[in-house]
A and B are shown apart, each in its own frame.
Chain A
Amino acid sequence: GENVEQHPSTLSVQEGDSAVIKCTYSDSASNYFPWYKQELGKRPQLIIDIRSNVGEKKDQRIAVTLNKTAKHFSLHITETQPEDSAVYFCAASKEAYGNKLVFGAGTILRVKS
């Protein structure tokens, strides 16, 4: 089945710097890749997603890139702010399993002010 690896497990950046989190997936048939942000004690929130017919997607300070050949996708956060501090999960999904999301292990992002 699908396996999603996520790196790094923890990431500390200075406020205003950029942060990049990378995920690789194993199943070339996966074609939907969402990113979730989970603050301490809160629900996972969908922040951005990308489908396999698109190479890049941006939403204000957040962008996601997808390299289907290499089977990896990345989350880019620019001009980081303290409120960006959270755990970020990537996930992958493919049609054959309905909307079953396979999650990465998560990245703890700390933005230091």
Chain B
Amino acid sequence: DTEVTQTPKHLVMGMTNKKSLKCEQHMGHRAMYWYKQKAKKPPELMFVYSYEKLSINESVPSRFSPECPNSSLLNLHLHALQPEDSALYLCASSQGVQNFYEQYFGPGTRLTVT
């Protein structure tokens, strides 16, 4: 299996809802990432997990809460989001966090906050 998968593909939520995004990889990668991408813009790094521990938090608001239950799974819990949080949320993985390891992206979850 050489893919990163994400569910759901699309998500519409109200500002008072709680939802979660899921990411999975079975490539044995030990680093996993969450990115946010607005239309026609590059991906913006949110979080990095290395060996299931949070290693980078790019000053993301607390209404986004990441979780790495095991080496194959990465979740992003969402609560009290704002309309400006609407974006494509991409998960990525790499063999490690050294910069000679390639990052592979999942297909993304397109999130709309109403």
Contact = CB atoms under 8 A, between A and B. Distances in A.
- How big is chain A's contact interface, by range? 20 to 34
B59 interface: no
A49 B102 contact: yes
Given A99-B31, A99-B48, A100-B48, A44 B43 contact: yes
Interface stretch (B62-70, B71-79, B93-101): B93-101
B25 interface: no
A87 to B, nearest CB: 7
Contacts of A42: 107
Contacts of A51: 100
A45 B41 CA distance: 15
Interface in B17-49: 31, 40-43, 45, 48
Contacts of A100: 45, 48, 56
B90 interface: yes
B3 to A, nearest CB: 10
A20 interface: no
B56 A98 contact: yes
B27 to A, nearest CB: 13
A93 B103 CA distance: 11
B106 A87 contact: no
A93 B99 contact: yes
Given A36-B105, A98-B98, 19 more contacts: A42-B107, A43-B90, A43-B105, A43-B107, A44-B105, A46-B102, A89-B42, A91-B42, A93-B99, A95-B98, A97-B56, A98-B50, A98-B56, A98-B97, A99-B31, A99-B98, A99-B101, A100-B56, A103-B43
Please name the 4 residue pairs, one residue from A and one from B, whose CB atoms are nearest each other, closest first.
A103-B42, A98-B97, A93-B99, A32-B99
Interface of A: 31-32, 34, 36, 42-46, 49, 51, 87, 89, 91, 93-95, 97-101, 103-106, 108
25 contacts: A31-B99, A34-B103, A42-B107, A43-B90, A43-B108, A44-B43, A45-B105, A46-B104, A87-B40, A89-B42, A93-B99, A97-B56, A97-B99, A98-B55, A98-B98, A99-B31, A99-B94, A99-B96, A99-B103, A100-B48, A101-B43, A101-B45, A101-B103, A106-B40, A108-B40
